[in-house]
Structure 1
Amino acid sequence: MPRGRRRLIAVVLALLLVPILAYAVAAATLAGEVPPDTRVAGVDIGGLPPEDAEAKLVRELSGRATVPVTLDVGDDEVRVEPDKLGLAFDAKGTVASAQDGSLTPAGVARSLFGHRDIAPVTTVDERRLATAMAGVAEKVDREPREGGVSYRGLVPEPVLPKAGRRLDQEGAARAVRRAYPAGTGAVTVPVREVAPQVSADKVRQAVSTSARRAVAAPLTLTSGTGKAELSPEQIAARLRYVPDNRGGLRPRFDASGLAADLDAKLVSEDRRPRNATFRITAGVPKVVPSRAGMSVDAAALGEAISAALASGGRTVEAPLRRTEPRLTTEKAARLGVKEKVSSFTTRHPCCAPRVTNIHRIADIVDGHVVMPGETFSLNEVVGRRDRARGFVEAPMILNNRFVDDVGGGVSQFATTMFNAVFFGGFEDVQHVPHQYYISRYPAGRESTVSYPQPDFRWRNDSPYGVLINTSHSGTSITVQFWSTKRFEIESKSSQRYNVRGFPSLEESGPECIPMGGVEGFTIDVWRIFKKDGETIKKQKFHTVYAPEPKLDCT
């Protein structure tokens, strides 16, 4: 081979070997170390052996990795612990990522002439992350407030719609994975607006049109020969306009509180269900059988009235359904109503208007059966005392004075029943003593009642039923409880203390009612529960009576 060609080949080989040798030397130098000028979240681990680099990352970034992640959801922030997100910083994996490709020619060149910023490597428990995002969604998500119409009296009022919001859980999970473990600043997560079904314009339109027409006149309910009328006030009290799922509003009438009152007007007595009750014969309670019957179907009635109001109709055929009585014959026989467990009588002068009210409320309650565990409310059972139900005007205490009101005097019945509860050993739930002491009642063992408050309530805390049996004469009222006797009850009272004199006053006017003047005092009464002669427990009743003024009407 000619000398010139050999020289050329030597030059070419030299040119080829120089970079190869340079790469080999550089690669050999970099081998076993993290490439120079390599940073992870601002931490320089360049030139360190892998073990040292890993230790430095743990030392520098472990604090950040445990900082709660703050999620920015627009107008609020939610903080979540990393372990609940299923996230953990992987220092070893991060070092491996930094070394990956570092000994390739390109990697060697980058190590010699550039720098590297490596994202931290994290481990993710996808199930825990998804669960955490669902938990965040529970805090963040807000259903839209749907538009509608309510009523203030007979005036329809708009309920304007408001948009809701919903967290994009998958997008939020991605944002959290990208940001962790930066340790600073909030992570903005995607939240989208949820529009309501009905626009504000549709709501305003309903207020000015259909909602006004709906309460412009009474609505008539019929059933066979029965008839009842709902006044505009009754309609408005139970009517709302709600989304119809087509972008508009529809009327929705709630008849659930009406059905029981309508039964008496729309269903004849011989067709209505009748509860089993008891008749006391020769001192023994006997079951009077129950009967199934027909009653107003409240749910179907609400739908029928809603449809009529939507179409402009003012007459509705009330739907009926077959109804079992609350207390069947079979249930009554198993209630353990077998003996008189308490009885109490209070007395009153004959023939005053208040006596009419006392007898009327006693007749309404007579025969009522209180089921085991049930709380008896005198106001719920009797309802408002009005002339239509046979009550009359009589004196009652209001604003520290005697005034005439329909139903006055029924507190004597409440007091009589309170003592039947007391001596029957049943749980006192709510009783309010009179403001002034009334001498015909036992001091500290009496209760007032008015409608709707104060109520008189007691709970049948026994496993047996309780039959309430009432009777009255021209000068007395008696309440008896029949059940299964559990306790012997004794009553013990303290002396009256903190006795205070009464003031003497004069007033004038046609509504003035004289007051006799009674001292105020405090008294304590103990209810003592006994069984087989042994005291089981004691219950204290503490009562404070205000002085009743002596009022002369001039």
Structure 2
Amino acid sequence: MTVPPPPEPSEPFESSEPFEDDAPTVRFARIAGFAPTAMPDVLRPVEETPSRRRWPVALAGVLVVAVLTGGAGVAWAGRGDVPRGTRVLGVELGGLTSAEAGARLRADLGGARRLTEPFTVSLAGTEIVKVDPVAIGLAVDVPATIASVTGSGRLIGIADVPPVVTVDEAKLHDVLHAAAVRARLATPGTPAAITYDGRTPKAVYPEPGRGIDARAAADAVTEAWARRDVARVALTETAPATTRADVDRLLGELAVPATAAPVTAGAFEISPEVIARSLVFAGDPLLPRIDEKRLRDGLAPVLAGLETEVRDASVDVDGGWPRVTESVTGRTVDAGALARDLLAVLPRTTDRAVTATFTETRPRVTTADVERLGITERLATYTTYGPSAVTDRPAGTLVKPGDTFSLHAAAGEDASPQLAATVFQAAYRAGLEIVEHRPHATYREHLPAVLEATAGPGQDLRIRDDSGHGVFVDVRVSGRTITVTLWGTRAFDWIDTEYGPRTAVTEPAVEYRDPGPDCEFEPGSRGFSQDAWRIFRKDGEEAGREKFSWTYESRPRIICGPGRGASR
């Protein structure tokens, strides 16, 4: 069968009006034997309203495309969530699902230089500022951008869709404000104020300034950046919230009567001079308040005889014997309540009186608490003599039953080894539990072997009070001498020590060094291991014993003079 050639197309025709939703106009050729007047009813234009007239034509175009392509055109246009042809910042997103589009946009933006390159802002049309996007938190909101391109219901998208851009308004304001100040475009204006010259109030009336509107600047920057355009930010007048009338009202109603006469507060008066120093007008709007610190400072001479400072009970060694220093309950004026009540009566010309209330603060350690600790006798004392003067002396330390004394906490991590050795010996003889200690690495002849300690950064000396009573640690320093005395109640009558033999003895190496001011003779010391037992005695009997063990390294013997091994 011979197929006749297709009819020659005549001039195209299209719908008579543009679509209101900007969808592309569907054009098709006039085909012989197929005139618009012969359209089926379903394709015939409907004349009820302009909007309804356009839809059948569009539908006709879609149906014709579907007939000619076997429905492939509709399938092509409807694939994915993002309409075909859609681009954001040059990134092709058409035909992708929302998840795919978001992932692609994030990936492409991750390496985009535009997101980190400085962009231009014009301030007041005169000043050009380069702004770092990172510094102001400028970023593309990917989820919001994808939502904007998938919510239109179109089959074919707009070619370039602007992204949804976010920015940190506060940071942007700070950057632009600083630039405007440098360019002398921004002026701070004059804030309203009321001050005192002596007891006479002085008014400072407000004047408007010129500055950056944070919200307007953010809108201008995000929109211009998305268009790859220069952001144009205007400066606006910044009028203070406080007006001249407000200042005059505060003067007449408060500032002037406030210092006209003193205010009675029970046992004392608050003078106009103290009121003038304490009454502060600040902020915008301008608000009055009483500065509590200034009020207390102004009343200090008066309060000295009315207030008492809280003090904990403690122990002090007075005349060579422990004495309890009694606790004191603190009594202070409630400055907050006084300030509040004072501000309320300052506008008055009569009945200028308030009630000053006192608050009491009980000591953490009372006299009864210390007396119950049973610090009544000397437990042990020990004295060491150092090679040079010592200066570290912890204040007398009170250790409660079951608590642990730390040399680092009492004297710092840089406490001398001499202090550590002295405290250790006193605690050892008092029968207290040694929680943490470390002897010297090499033997020191002036200290008992094994039963000694050093301390320093990273190495503490800790002693627990397991006596059942309190312990007071008293440290006395005089020149090169340190004496540590522990006071409390004895748990044992006496402490004895027994030593085991020295084993694994190693002789010191001999080192010869060139004589001179930098060479000092050292006798050296042997290295050895040894055990020692602390024996606790109660009522003439052994009540227990504790083993201490240590291994010393040998210390070389240094000879200043020629000999084998001397350095040259």
TM-score bracket for this pair, using the shorter chain length: 0.3 to 0.5
TM-score for the superposition, normalised by structure 1: 0.38
Largest Rg, 1 or 2 = 2
TM-score for the superposition, normalised by structure 2: 0.37
